[in-house]
Amino acid sequence: MKSRLYSLVIFATTLAMAAAVAVTAAEAAKKKRDPGKRAYMRNTCIACHGRNGRGAMLDYPNLAGQDAKYMRAQIKDIMAGKRKGSPDPTGNPRSEGMRGALVTPEGEPRITAKQIKDIVAWLAKQKPAAPTPPEKPIAAERIKAGEKLYKKKCRSCHGKKAMKPLKGYPIIAGQKHAYLVTQMQDIKTKARTNGKSKLMLSTVKKLSDDDIAMLADYLSQIDRTKK
């Protein structure tokens, strides 16, 4: 009697263990199969925007943890040639490389709307990049002054600590310094006019080059990995 009960317990335990293993295996497979991640890898996004949307090359933007709706609109605008940007060091518009990767020379998209939707949903869930350490140390007073200017001129749209923007607006905290500067300059000089960027024009028009650099000093050092 006793040994029968014992084997029943063993049997039940084995079943429970097998079920647990099956669940973790299914979870792992699901992770691997995330269609957004797969499409991100297959469509060369990773080559420019880095693994999991972090550690993008040159002054290209990090995308991990960015707002999905915002990203979708930007991808569409870049593919349609509506967001070009100022010339990069090679003399081509900043977004030209991405457009070339996603649109054929005949103007046919190489990526479907569904893939774009999956990619941005996956990217938005990824852990944001840690701040890139500055080339030269930034004085604490300068960061403070950048924060003060941010609160006065930018917070109404980009939100508290630049992390809680209005719906569909970009999160700019922790973004790369050089990218932040080029975008502010491009919006100021109207090299970038797509989407809602005109809403920012009257604000950035009044900023000096040093104001812009100081804002980027503050914004680029906000650590989104610590909440």
CB of 129 to ligand HEC, least distance (A): 12
Residues within the interface to ligand HEC (CB under 6 A): 43-45, 47-49, 60-61, 63, 66, 71, 74-75, 83, 85, 94-95, 97-98, 101-102, 111, 119, 153-154, 156-158, 169-170, 172, 180, 182-184, 194-197, 199-200, 203-204, 215
User: Residues near 193 by Cβ (< 8 Å), separated by ≥ 6?
Assistant: 187
User: For residues 27 and 168, which CB has a smaller minimum distance to ligand HEC in the complex?
Assistant: 168
Q: For the CA atoms of 172, 175, 179, 183, what is the dihedral angle to 10 degrees?
A: 0
User: For residues 145 and 157, which CB has a smaller minimum distance to ligand HEC in the complex?
Assistant: 157
CB of 172 to ligand HEC, least distance (A): 5
Q: CB neighbours (10 Å) of residue 179?
A: 19
User: For residues 17 and 199, which CB has a smaller minimum distance to ligand HEC in the complex?
Assistant: 199
CA–CA distance, 190 with 85 (Å, rounded to integer): 9
Q: Give the type of residue at 134.
A: P
CB of 134 to ligand HEC, least distance (A): 17
Asked if 120 and 68 touch (Cβ cutoff 8 Å), the reply is yes
CB of 179 to ligand HEC, least distance (A): 7
Which residue has 């209005």 as its token pair? 166
